[in-house]
Structure 1
Amino acid sequence: MSGALLGPVRRLFGMAALIAAGAGALSAEEAPHLNSFGLPGLIDMPNGQPLPPDSLSLTLFGFDGEYRTTLAYQITPRITGVFRYIALPGADYFDRSFDLHVLLAEEGEIMPAVRLGLVDFGGTGLFSSEYVAATKEIAPGLELTGGIGWGRLAGRGAFANPLARIDDYFADRPEGRTIEDTGRIRADVFFRGDAALFGGVRWTPTDQLSFAAEYSSDTYPFEGRRLGFTQDSPLNVSASYRFANGGELTAAYLYGNTIGISYGRTFFPGNTAIPGGTAAAPPPLVPRQSAEALGWTLPASAPVRGPDLLELSLGTLGLGSQGLTVNGSEAVLRLENPTYFPPSQAIGRAARVMANTLPASVETLVIVPVVAGMPTSEIRLRRSDLEALEYDLDGAWLSYARADISDAADQPVLEGTGFRWALAPILRRSYFDPDAPLRLEAGLALSASYNPTPGLFFSGQIYQPLLGNLDSIRRRSNSILPHVRSDSALYAVETETEITWATVEQFFRPGPNLYGRMTVGILEQMYGGASAELLWRPASSRLALGAEVNYAVQRDFDGLGFRDYDVITGHASAYYDMENGYTARIDAGRYLAGDWGATFTLDRVFANGASVGAFFTLTDVSFDDFGEGAFDKGIVISLPVQAIAGTPSRVRITEVFRPVLRDGGARLNVRNRLYDLTAEYGTPQLGESWGRFWR
């Protein structure tokens, strides 16, 4: 591998591995054996087994001038999604592709595990193939695999397609793709044309060691043409060593004349690195009369403001108050939570602080989480319930059952948060440029905000790059659409000190179950303008509906002025929070290039806040006019810092793996969209995380 490419690929894999380090790696006994394409399999060939449910795998493989980085996610117990990046630097060729694999049958006493796969169905078609594979353990540690493949997997020992006996449609496979077909889903080739058999055996004598041998039906035709790669044998053999962290290193002797090396790791993004965490312990409840006798309570006046005992106690836990009102036996706290995910942990800690500091006469504790100056949900708790359930084995469930959670639109927020600022390092990334698969830029970002009254924010960020190679991008857009995103690299090239955003935002509650936002100023790196949004999200519902309208003006590449391009864009959105952490979303409307269409998104959010999602956008821009990639699509992985460090934090690391950034289906990147701000505070969402109430 050339030094120019090896470094970026290592860094790409290393960055993903760094994120993975914070998640729960599978043990040596649990982790599957991954093949050179990053899937459960033999060496090059797939097998019939899926990844473990909810797991994510990362694989790096290289041999004789070809290098593959694969990210695979077990979307459901039966469906696996794959994104793969392949480099042939000697041929000056770089390839991005997607797979979809479906488990048809689980392994039983007699039945083998059976899996069907569509390989490279949404890329260039370099590896376009389909297969059905079956795997069965015939003795402890000994597995047999057999399969039939089409497309590229029908290169050796091909025979007439058996499906042609059902319909002549399957007899012939359409010709290969051209560059214009890149990114299109070519369903017309699936399972068509000649077929071929493949198979092999895997022996795993110990938890650490594994050996495999296979007969491959792949003749590597593209590599033969572009790299001069030849095969002396269809047989491959490999030896693998499994480390204690679940990672597996494999060395393979391939096709009778070359060596391949791979490293793969499978982990659960929903597991934290430090399950117990290292947060400060919450305060234990103190009996009411004892607390009052010790002088730990606040005066029973309304409203109570200033640096009082309650605010100081909240502050030691990383929480804040935006107003406390005590009225007879009821106290209402407007709670700010910059620290804890999920918010149920913040609510539980705030409830104990209230119980320990308020007069003994206060029985009803009302906590109103405040986000961007907006009251979200109203959580009503009885103080006597807290005292009775603190040490109850079913305390979490019983406290939730006795809590009353409703919409808090009628609860006024009494205070703003004032002036705040932060100076933080920033690492920017650019993926999949053929000249450099990964570009990095490190810099410092100075952010500041002023919140004088509830909901009104003046904020901005200045970014200063310090080192990196983002500004060395030389490729220029060939898009025939308005260059609303495809010129994004020019902002890094021509800007020295960047105003990332500078906005005035007003957040408000226009009525029950309604949230509103208005934003004006420099909205993002490429655009300024104005944005307005309205969201309907009942506290007790999993369904939310929203609408957004924007007027966007493209900024100059140096960031100091504006270009002669403006557009009105906006979307109507529907969100549905399904059980088990799945959220489905549809955004339909007008995009930055003036095209009309819809974006479809599916996210899986785990209990620790980590999420894995995928999206695609279809608009009235034709695949030909869109250009390379055919339509916008990608994978999003987001991991809370607390899942890595084990300390409470709402900061997240988010990576968007988009094969190519073009102009069709491009949206404005407005900060603080309402659903993302408020989604955690509905009754169903709080109920799913209420187990952390007593943490």
Structure 2
Amino acid sequence: MVSCSGLHRGVVFSLLLTAIATPNRLWAEVDSTYNTYGYPGLIDMPAAVSPPDAELALSFSHFHNNTRSTLTFQFLRRLSASFRYASIQNTHLTSATGAPVIHFRFDRSFSLHYRFRDETPRWPALAVGLNDIIGTGVYASEYVVATKTLRHNVRVTGGIGWGRLGSMNGFSNPLGLFGSNWRHRHQMDLDADTGGELKLGDLFHGDAAFFGGVEWQATPRLKLIAEYSSDSYDSEDGTTFDRRIPLNIGAVYRLRPMTTLAVNYLYGSELGVQLSMALNPKQPPFSGGRDPAPPPVVARGTPAAELLEVSVAEADKPALETRLRDALAAQSIELRGFSLTPTIARVVISGGAPNKTAQNIGRTARILTAILPTQIETFELIPLSHGLAPSQVTLQRRTLEREEFALDGSWASYAQARIAPAEAAALPPETSFKRFRPHIGVYLQPAFFDPDEPLRADFGLQASAQFEPRRGLIFSGSLRKKLIGTLDQSTRTSDSVLPHVRSDGYLYDRDGDPAIPELTAAYYFQPGDDLFGRMTLGYLEPMFGGLSTELLWSRNDSNFAAGIELNYVQQRDFDQLFGFQDYKIVTGHVSGYWSLQGGFDLQLDVGRYLAGDWGSTITVERTFRNGWRLGAFATFTDVSFEDFGEGSFDKGLMLTIPVGWVSGDSTQENYATVIRPLQRDGGARLKVAGRLHEVLRAHQRPGLKNGWGRFWR
């Protein structure tokens, strides 16, 4: 039993009393913030609160010998998922000389926090959480917690924890009523455990303990917190952390919206700081974007439409095409095909970010009302992606004239549009050829959560180009020159018993300067109804080159797609130029794709990986209408956890940020990264740009429906 001094009891009691006595009419409601572990909570303890849906937060906390960096995503309105990287400094006395020896432990862990009941005027909110469920066990714990707002600016929390959260003043597990095995929990061997295994047998087992706290929103920007902690810090105290009492107090100050700075006094002896920064994909920095203003609909029968009163036979079609191409170019849309009949105009377009496909269709239709003769009643619009035409959107001119300013114009225009598969044989001839797109810019290549360093990165110049001599045939390549970086500073040599298909990555970073990350020729084609194909030849990615082939069945109106990919590749030289090493492999997968409600996508891949292992990968991803994508994946193959090595199996988080979301511009560029606890050789899949499902998903009916809110923008 640890008791607190009278001084500390007085400080905490005064804080609680002041909080309860403060009139609630003065201040705002209590902010929900992140604890030192990076998930919703008090200071060290959890709370039954949740940040707004889709919020993505990065937290950094430090006190004495503990530093934690945590990425937390509100994956659902009630579910938070956190990935944590911690540096723990332990000091031990050696038996030989008695001199202190400092040992650093770098630990990666994963947490889930689920709020299963909302707060009501009578009942508190309730949440359950799991910490370090696939890590080494340093932070392994579980909890059930309740949070209730007492007054407008005062909130209290109480809960019961197991594992680490049951280690201070613990008692026999009340779940022991269901069997004596609930009272026992395996002791973790933190030095032997390589992490990565899902430890379900110990969940909610062993001793339990109570924790709790109170939050007082003193001002709209300042929140004060006091808590009782049930964590004894047995795993990492060493001899330098003097844990005197189980009480913590802290102050959280909101520097700006979604950015907070916290100062904490922990366990009667330590001063800690924490910085939390968040953003929400639903809230872009530029709410209206920097796109040019949309052109107006020119309604027939108005003075502006008088010049359009000519027959189609009398119209100057080359002049119409030139005007249409120029008007579309002003909207960053490229005219790829154009044809007229007495009542129908068929237009093929490309360009812009995939999430803006519906917007491009809407703007193209508006432009057509201002250019085409009034006899043209039907617009057939075909958006191209990598030369493929997965769908055709048919709009009636009168619908555009009627719905432009309607309150429900977006939904009405979607309900009256016909979205069907495009008929490849009916596509009009292309109006332009030999599209060459050069680009010179900078690149940033980060590597997160290295076992010896939380963040490494390279920064440099990149020149890239794409040449499309005909529809569907695309030549592309890039050349990089590093200016500064630390990716090549890893001192870990691979100890993998598998072929070194990924674990020698630092050698590519060291020798590949300058480097050719990609140099390929790709051909996209449509061999049949609802069937699409791809062949890509060349230096496919920094580590492998060869031939990649793919066939995808994807019906225009279906939420399900299925495909098969087969690759023959050879490992590239470490300098990432033109040479190859001896290692060759045939690899490929059968894949299923499901589009679920709420922007969620599920993908299952089954097949052979780069190291010759066989298995499957499951991926869950959430896509937002503005192009943001966040997801997680896990791969299990016939490689044992022991042969895989540290981490036990391949897993990670995926993040894609559209550049246009940050800049407000209309661009197809994305910043994409994969955050892995550790990159090993098992479960490694070939990286190929332009896989078919990625190319088509935004251009078929489910994707168009998801983005149709931009039709009138």
SS at match of 1:398: helix
Q: For residue 218 of structure 1, what is the aligned residue in structure 2? A: 231
Contact 2:28–2:220, Cα closer than 8 Å, also in 1: yes
Structure 1 residue 515 corresponds to structure 2 residue 527: no
Q: Relative to 1, partners in 2 of residues 1:486 and 1:372: Cα closer, same or farther, differing over 3 Å? A: same
CA apart distance, 1:181: 4.1
CA apart distance, 1:659: 0.5
Q: For residue 260 of structure 2, what is the aligned residue in structure 1? A: 248
Q: For residue 527 of structure 1, what is the aligned residue in structure 2? A: 544
Structure 1 residue 569 corresponds to structure 2 residue 587: yes
Q: Relative to 1, partners in 2 of residues 1:297 and 1:142: Cα closer, same or farther, differing over 3 Å? A: farther
Residues 137-146 or 599-608, more deviating: 137-146
Q: For residue 78 of structure 1, what is the aligned residue in structure 2? A: 78
2:287 aligned residue (232, 252, 275): 275
2:250 aligned residue (208, 222, 238): 238
SS at match of 1:92: strand
Distance 2:152 2:464 in 1: 59
Q: For residue 403 of structure 1, what is the aligned residue in structure 2? A: 417
1:474 aligned residue (459, 466, 491): 491
CA apart distance, 1:199: 1.5
Structure 1 residue 441 corresponds to structure 2 residue 454: no
Q: For residue 160 of structure 2, what is the aligned residue in structure 1? A: 148
Q: What letter matches 2:44 in structure 1?
A: D
1:609 aligned residue (627, 635, 638): 627
- Deviations along 1:651-676, one digit per CA (max 9) or x if unpaired, are 22223211000011110001100111
Structure 1 residue 360 corresponds to structure 2 residue 378: no
Q: Relative to 1, partners in 2 of residues 1:322 and 1:216: Cα closer, same or farther, differing over 3 Å? A: same
SS at match of 1:282: coil
SS at match of 2:241: coil
2:270 aligned residue (243, 253, 258): 258
1:423 aligned residue (418, 440, 448): 440
Q: For residue 7 of structure 1, what is the aligned residue in structure 2? A: none
1:190 aligned residue (203, 212, 219): 203
SS at match of 1:212: strand
Gaps of 5+ in 1: 1-26
2:429 aligned residue (410, 414, 418): 414
CA RMSD of aligned residues (A): 2.2
> How many residue pairs get matched?
668
Q: What letter matches 1:97 in structure 2?
A: S
Q: For residue 400 of structure 2, what is the aligned residue in structure 1? A: 386
Q: For residue 346 of structure 2, what is the aligned residue in structure 1? A: 332
CA apart distance, 1:272: 1.4
CA apart distance, 1:525: 0.3
Q: For residue 691 of structure 2, what is the aligned residue in structure 1? A: 673
Distance 1:306 1:483 in 2: 58
Q: What letter matches 1:198 in structure 2?
A: F
CA apart distance, 1:77: 2.6
Q: For residue 12 of structure 1, what is the aligned residue in structure 2? A: none
Q: Give the 5 Å matches for 1:51-200.
A: 51-88=51-88, 91-178=103-190, 179-200=192-213
Distance 1:506 1:88 in 2: 51
SS at match of 1:625: helix
Q: For residue 567 of structure 2, what is the aligned residue in structure 1? A: 550
Distance 2:249 2:413 in 1: 58
Q: For residue 620 of structure 1, what is the aligned residue in structure 2? A: 638
Q: What letter matches 1:636 in structure 2?
A: M
Q: For residue 385 of structure 2, what is the aligned residue in structure 1? A: 371
- Deviations along 1:358-378, one digit per CA (max 9) or x if unpaired, are 222221111000011111210
Distance 1:29 1:266 in 2: 19
CA apart distance, 1:68: 0.8
Distance 1:198 1:552 in 2: 55
Identity %: 41
Distance 1:432 1:259 in 2: 26
Distance 2:254 2:309 in 1: 56
Q: Please give the TM-score of this superposition, normalised by the length of structure 1.
A: 0.92
CA apart distance, 1:29: 5.5
Distance 1:387 1:414 in 2: 29
- Deviations along 1:398-431, one digit per CA (max 9) or x if unpaired, are 2111111101143436334522211111111122
Distance 1:672 1:299 in 2: 40
CA apart distance, 1:244: 3.8
Residues 604-613 or 386-395, more deviating: 386-395
Q: Give the 5 Å matches for 1:334-353.
A: 334-339=348-353, 341-353=355-367
Q: Relative to 1, partners in 2 of residues 1:77 and 1:486: Cα closer, same or farther, differing over 3 Å? A: same
SS at match of 1:401: helix
CA apart distance, 1:385: 1.7
Q: What letter matches 1:557 in structure 2?
A: F
Distance 1:30 1:522 in 2: 54
Q: Relative to 1, partners in 2 of residues 1:497 and 1:657: Cα closer, same or farther, differing over 3 Å? A: same
SS at match of 1:189: coil
Q: What letter matches 1:364 in structure 2?
A: T
Q: For residue 635 of structure 1, what is the aligned residue in structure 2? A: 653
Q: What letter matches 1:68 in structure 2?
A: R
1:541 aligned residue (546, 558, 578): 558
Q: What letter matches 1:668 in structure 2?
A: L
SS at match of 2:698: helix
Structure 1 residue 590 corresponds to structure 2 residue 605: no
2:222 aligned residue (209, 214, 219): 209
Give the greater-gyration-radius structure (CA): 2
Q: Relative to 1, partners in 2 of residues 1:261 and 1:496: Cα closer, same or farther, differing over 3 Å? A: same
CA apart distance, 1:57: 2.4
Contact 2:165–2:208, Cα closer than 8 Å, also in 1: yes
Residues 178-187 or 117-126, more deviating: 178-187
Q: Which runs of 4+ in 1 moved over 6 A?
A: 295-299
Residues 86-95 or 245-254, more deviating: 86-95
Residues 48-57 or 672-681, more deviating: 48-57
- Deviations along 1:197-217, one digit per CA (max 9) or x if unpaired, are 111222223322211111111
Residues 247-256 or 298-307, more deviating: 298-307
Q: What letter matches 1:236 in structure 2?
A: N
Distance 1:439 1:246 in 2: 26
